[in-house]
Amino acid sequence: MSAENVDDAKKNSKISRRNFVVGVGAGVIVAAIAGAGAESMLKKATILPVTSTETGPTSTVTGPTTTVTGPTTTKTSTVTGPTSTVTNTVTSTVTTTPTPVVAPPTYGELMTLNVNGADYSVYADYRWTLLDVIRDKLNLGGTKRWCDNGECGSCTVLIGGKPILSCMTLAVEAQGKSILTIEGVRPPAPNAGTTLNYIQQAFVDNDGTQCGFCTPGIIMETTALLAANPHPTSQQVKDALSGNLCRCGCYPQILNSVLAAAKVGP
Compute the least distance from the CB of residue 261 to ligand FES, in Å: 16
- C-beta closer to ligand FES: residue 20 or 253: 253
- C-beta closer to ligand FES: residue 20 or 251: 251
Q: Mention every residue, 6+ apart, whose C-beta is less than 8 A from residue 163.
A: 156, 157, 220, 221, 224
Cα–Cα distance for residue pair 205/211, rounded to 1 Å: 15
Cα–Cα distance for residue pair 24/19, rounded to 1 Å: 8
Q: In a 10 Å sphere around its CB, with 0-12 CB exposed, 13-18 middle and 19+ buried, how is residue 98 labelled?
A: exposed
- C-beta closer to ligand FES: residue 175 or 253: 253
Q: Could you list the residues that contact ligand FES (CB under 6 A)?
A: 145-148, 150-155, 165, 167, 209-215, 246-248, 250
- C-beta closer to ligand FES: residue 226 or 254: 254
Q: Nearest Cα to 258, choosing from 217, 199, 173, 204?
A: 199
Within the chain, strands assigned E span: 108-115, 118-125, 156-159, 162-165, 178-180
- C-beta closer to ligand FES: residue 158 or 167: 167
Question: Residue 18: how many CA atoms within 13 Å on its side-chain side?
Answer: 0
Question: Residue 204: how many CA atoms within 13 Å on its side-chain side?
Answer: 7
Residue 100: cis peptide before it, omega within 30 degrees of 0:
no
**136 backbone dihedrals φ, ψ, rounded to 5°:** -90, -25
- C-beta closer to ligand FES: residue 33 or 147: 147
Q: Mention every residue, 6+ apart, whose C-beta is less than 8 A from residue 128.
A: 108, 170, 171
The answer to whether the CB of 116 falls within 8 A of the CB of 181 is: yes
